[in-house]
């Protein structure tokens, strides 16, 4: 539903001007937050699972939707909410990796040996390589190759240009090829 203002009483627009004025779109319908959450939860969780790993996806998912909930009252247009929430998720993923890179790992003593993984799956090397990418490259690669997003949308989600989105994906794929060899 679209609310249209034509001027007139109480709008500060003279009646003769308001009668000839074109309609002005004030806002598009914004769905209730619960409906918005249900419509976007699977895509956001899938993105975060790949971007930050399954162990940290739940925390980033909650942070993403808490940020969205705080900002939701200020949303005045209902179209492109899916891109808006993925942009928030992208930033939360980047923040997560920056925070994790700075965090100290407390240990009483360093372990002498680490145990090899039990029955590694063929994709373990790939996902380890994806996690080793710099945060912006990782987010761009996940948007492009996991969520199959077009470059203009990736650029919008990451707050960059099309060229920067293409460069991040290209550099990420190049680095993945080097890491997997």
Strand, helix or coil for residue 4: strand
Q: Measure CA 88 to chain center.
A: 5
Q: Under a CB-based contact definition with an 8 Å cutoff, are residues 171 and 71 in contact?
A: no
Residue 117 burial (CB < 10 Å; 0-12/13-18/19+)?
exposed
pLDDT at residue 162 tops 80: yes
CA distance 40 to 28: 18
**Mean pLDDT, the chain, whole residue set:** 80
pLDDT at residue 127 in the model: 82
pLDDT at residue 15 in the model: 46
pLDDT at residue 60 in the model: 95
pLDDT at residue 74 in the model: 92
pLDDT tens across 3-50, in order? 333 344 343 444 444 444 444 333 468 999 999 999 999 999 999 999
Taking residue 98's Cβ as centre, other Cβ atoms within 10 Å add up to: 11
pLDDT at residue 152 tops 70: yes
Q: Which whole number is the average pLDDT over 75-98?
A: 91
Share of the chain above pLDDT 90, in %: 51
Domains of the chain: 1-30 (no CATH), 31-102+128-181 (1.20.140.160)
pLDDT at residue 66 tops 70: yes
């Amino acid at each position: 539903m679209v609310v249209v203002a034509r001027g007139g009483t109480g709008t500060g627009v003279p009646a003769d001007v308001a009668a000839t004025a074109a309609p002005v779109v004030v806002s598009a319908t914004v769905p209730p937050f619960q409906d918005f959450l249900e419509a976007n939860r699977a895509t956001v969780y899938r993105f975060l699972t790949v971007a930050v790993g399954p162990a940290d996806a739940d925390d980033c998912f909650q942070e993403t939707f808490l940020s969205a909930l705080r900002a939701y009252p200020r949303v005045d247009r209902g179209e492109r909410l899916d891109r808006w929430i993925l942009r928030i998720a992208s930033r939360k993923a980047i923040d997560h990796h920056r925070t994790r890179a700075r965090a100290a790992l407390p240990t009483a003593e360093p372990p002498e040996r680490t145990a090899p993984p039990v029955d590694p799956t063929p994709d373990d090397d790939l996902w380890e390589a994806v996690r080793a990418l710099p945060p912006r490259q990782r987010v761009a690669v996940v948007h492009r190759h996991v969520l199959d997003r077009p470059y203009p949308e990736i650029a919008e989600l990451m707050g960059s240009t099309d060229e920067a989105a293409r460069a991040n994906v290209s550099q990420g794929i190049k680095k993945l090829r080097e890491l997997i060899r």
